[in-house]
């Protein structure tokens, strides 16, 4: 027979007693609040650390690529990046967040959005830099309340890629600080850009293929006849508002404060190994010629040729201005010249014919005779005259090779340029601090494929121009890189 025992009354009373229940509830609530608080506090803390590292990576990538692009070697560029990051995130507070091994130079394909690393020590100029910053391993980000659940640290990393780019309007087209003024009966095709940092003026019966750009700070400032929108096909679709920093022009200015590591054009074109050294240049030792008239046979392929007219110069003495630092250029003769410079009578004339694979540096007024053809030629004059370069009819700049590598021509001047009718340009670049004026003759204006004119003054156009862009880009090197975060 089973025996039943009566539960003591005090146990029954204890079971029914609800006093102190809030203490137990508060215990669980405290744990929940700590968990939520730790999530809010520590997750925010980790996100803040990630943001700091991302900003540091952005700064480091830009500093590395910028320094490398401006003439420093790989080690110097990496050191500059580490220094820039350390300034904002000192090791005393954040530990070491970036080391040189975390920096990689390479190339960036904007179409495929892919980065290709260059081998360490490569002599190829990189177009991108990848930087990875981190607080991990021996230098993690510590936690606060997560310690309650056993998480006392977290590895946090960030990376970025900085790349160079070249604004289309600064690579191909007519760009000017002053007014760009064209007349009528001109045709411009996809990829061509007409830009002014002031405004654009045009007449009528011009054609702009879809994909062309006509821009100025305020597109409503365009000056056209009353019927301009209807009489200029494609103009309305081509209009844009915007301005550009034409940094290339600073490389022509004699007194400009250039960025560290940047060489002015006059020096760069005759310094072997520089990014803007023409590919056809084989020796930095100059051939010195007297002012006068020359035929193509007078110039030695692969060499720098210096012609000094003298007179008042744009900056400093003739010797200090013409000698390139760290090069073996030798100047002989022409001590007193025969005039020239700014407004004097000295002149360099290139008679008709085909000139090839030559660099010409002068302070003379330059006259390009009728039928002159320049292929793989860079011509620079420090003359500041309004007509420092004049061209007779039928001037051809560059080789008609449908934008194949090589064969281009570049004219650089601190003054202005005037070209007569029937000017033809193929992969040609003109950089000048003054005005660029070109005239028409009957039905023959400027024609070409791959044309880049950048003027510190104005560009006065003509009629019957027919210009298209190089689909694979220009092959010349006289443009200045801009920088952006690619990824």
Q: pLDDT tens digit string along 323-333?
A: 233 333 333 22
Reported as a single tens digit per residue, the pLDDT across 44-69 is 888 888 999 999 999 999 999 998 88
Looking only at the bridges linking them, the beta strands covering 187-188 and 447-455 are unpaired
User: Which whole number is the average pLDDT over 249-262?
Assistant: 73
Q: Using the 3D structure, point to which of 165, 199, 230 is the last residue of a domain.
A: 165
Confidence of residue 216 (pLDDT cuts 50, 70, 90): very high
Using the predicted structure, report yes or no on whether residue 381 has a pLDDT greater than 50.
yes
User: Which whole number is the average pLDDT over 196-211?
Assistant: 96
Q: Provide the number of structural domains found in the chain.
A: 2
pLDDT for res 462: 83
* Residue that wins the pLDDT comparison between 148 and 197: 197
Same-domain check for residues 119 and 196: no
Q: Does 320 reside within a domain?
A: yes
Same-domain check for residues 227 and 245: yes
Same-domain check for residues 154 and 174: no
Supply the mean pLDDT for the chain: 83
Q: Does 339 reside within a domain?
A: yes
Q: Does 16 reside within a domain?
A: no
Same-domain check for residues 128 and 227: no
Same-domain check for residues 185 and 68: no
pLDDT for res 20: 63
Reported as a single tens digit per residue, the pLDDT across 435-478 is 999 876 545 567 888 899 999 999 998 888 899 888 655 565 67
Task: Round to whole Å and give the CA distance between 387 and 157.
Answer: 58
The DSSP bridge partners found for residue 106 are 117, 128
What's 43's DSSP letter? H
Same-domain check for residues 43 and 181: no
pLDDT for res 81: 95
Q: Any alpha helices (H) in 71-215, and if so which ranges?
A: 74-88, 91-94, 168-171
Same-domain check for residues 148 and 181: no
User: Which whole number is the average pLDDT over 382-401?
Assistant: 92
pLDDT for res 203: 94
pLDDT for res 39: 67
Same-domain check for residues 325 and 336: yes
**Distance, C-alpha 42 to centroid of its chain:** 42
Reported as a single tens digit per residue, the pLDDT across 109-126 is 988 999 999 998 887 889
| Whether the Cβ atoms of residue 150 and residue 144 lie closer than 8 Å to each other | no
Q: Using the 3D structure, point to which of 136, 165, 194 is the last residue of a domain.
A: 165
Q: What is the CA radius of gyration of the chain?
A: 33
Same-domain check for residues 235 and 288: yes
Q: Does 17 reside within a domain?
A: no
pLDDT for res 388: 96
Strands across the sheet with 389-391, in order?
Answer: 200-201, 180-181, 459-460, 436-438, 417-419, 389-391, 365-368, 347-350, 292-294
Task: Round to whole Å and give the CA distance between 299 and 289.
Answer: 9
pLDDT for res 444: 54
Q: Does 316 reside within a domain?
A: yes
pLDDT for res 440: 63
Task: Round to whole Å and give the CA distance between 343 and 345.
Answer: 7
Task: Give the whole-number percent of the chain exceeding pLDDT 70.
Answer: 80
Q: Does 151 reside within a domain?
A: yes
User: Which whole number is the average pLDDT over 423-439?
Assistant: 91
Same-domain check for residues 125 and 224: no
Q: Using the 3D structure, point to which of 117, 139, 165 is the last residue of a domain.
A: 165
pLDDT for res 434: 96
Confidence of residue 430 (pLDDT cuts 50, 70, 90): very high
Residue 199 domain boundaries:
168-480
Asked which of 3-7, 75-79, 240-244, 425-429 is least confident by mean pLDDT, the reply is 3-7
Query: pTM above 0.85?
Result: no
**And the tokens for 383?**
């003359």
**Distance, C-alpha 399 to centroid of its chain:** 25
Using the predicted structure, report yes or no on whether residue 334 has a pLDDT greater than 70.
no
User: Which helix (DSSP H) or strand (DSSP E) does residue 47 occupy?
Assistant: helix 21-69
Q: Does 44 reside within a domain?
A: yes
**And the tokens for 378?**
């860079």
pLDDT for res 403: 81
Same-domain check for residues 124 and 211: no
Residues 6 or more apart from 112 whose CB is under 8 A from it?
Answer: none
Residue keyed to tokens 């530990």? 95
User: Which whole number is the average pLDDT over 413-434?
Assistant: 92
pLDDT for res 42: 74
Same-domain check for residues 190 and 259: yes
Q: Does 107 reside within a domain?
A: yes
Using the predicted structure, report yes or no on whether residue 314 has a pLDDT greater than 60.
no
Asked which of 81-85, 143-147, 229-233, 480-484 is least confident by mean pLDDT, the reply is 143-147
Residue keyed to tokens 């019966």? 205
pLDDT for res 257: 62
pLDDT for res 294: 96
* Residue that wins the pLDDT comparison between 401 and 105: 105
């Amino acid at each position: 027979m089973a025996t039943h025992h009566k539960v003591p009354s005090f146990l029954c009373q204890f079971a029914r007693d609800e006093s102190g229940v809030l203490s137990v509830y508060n215990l669980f609530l405290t744990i929940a609040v700590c968990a939520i608080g730790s999530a809010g506090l520590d997750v925010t803390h980790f996100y803040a650390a990630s943001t700091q590292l991302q900003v540091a990576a952005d700064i480091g990538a830009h500093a590395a690529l910028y320094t490398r692009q401006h003439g420093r070697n790989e080690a110097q560029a990496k050191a500059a990046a580490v220094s820039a990051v350390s300034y904002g995130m000192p090791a005393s507070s954040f530990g070491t967040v970036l080391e040189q091994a975390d920096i990689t130079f390479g190339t960036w394909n904007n179409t495929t959005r892919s980065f290709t690393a260059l081998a360490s020590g490569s002599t190829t100029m990189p177009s991108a830099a990848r930087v990875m910053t981190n607080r991990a391993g021996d230098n993690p980000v510590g936690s606060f309340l997560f310690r309650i659940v056993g998480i006392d640290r977290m590895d946090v990393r960030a990376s970025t890629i900085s790349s160079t780019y070249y604004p289309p309007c600064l690579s191909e087209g007519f760009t000017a600080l002053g007014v760009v003024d064209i007349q009528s009966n001109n045709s411009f095709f996809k990829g061509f850009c007409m830009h002014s940092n002031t405004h654009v003026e045009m007449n009528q019966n011009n054609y702009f293929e879809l994909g062309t750009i006509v821009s100025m700070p305020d597109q409503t400032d365009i000056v056209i006849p009353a019927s301009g929108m209807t009489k200029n096909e494609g103009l309305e679709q081509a209009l844009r508002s915007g301005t550009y920093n034409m940094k290339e022009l600073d490389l022509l200015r004699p007194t400009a404060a250039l960025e560290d590591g940047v060489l002015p054009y006059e020096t760069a074109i005759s310094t072997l190994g520089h990014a803007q050294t023409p590919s056809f240049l084989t020796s930095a030792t100059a051939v010195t010629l007297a002012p006068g008239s020359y035929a193509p046979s007078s110039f030695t392929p692969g060499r720098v040729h210096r012609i000094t007219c003298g007179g008042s110069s744009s900056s400093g003495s003739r010797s200090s201005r013409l000698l390139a630092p760290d090069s073996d250029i030798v100047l002989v003769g022409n001590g007193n010249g025969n005039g020239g410079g700014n407004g004097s009578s000295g002149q360099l004339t290139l008679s008709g014919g085909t000139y090839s694979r030559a660099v010409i540096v002068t302070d003379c007024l330059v006259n390009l005779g009728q039928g002159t053809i320049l292929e793989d030629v860079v011509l620079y004059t420090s003359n500041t005259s309004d007509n420092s370069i004049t061209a007779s009819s039928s001037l051809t700049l560059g080789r008609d090779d449908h934008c194949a590598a090589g064969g281009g021509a570049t004219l650089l001047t601190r003054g202005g340029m005037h070209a007569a009718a029937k000017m033809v340009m193929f992969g040609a670049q003109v950089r000048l601090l003054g005005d660029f004026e070109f005239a028409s003759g009957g039905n023959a204006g400027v024609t070409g494929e791959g044309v880049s004119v950048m003027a510190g003054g104005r560009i006065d156009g003509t009629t019957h121009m027919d210009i298209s862009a190089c689909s694979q880009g220009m092959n010349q090197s006289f443009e200045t890189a801009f920088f952006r975060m690619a990824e």
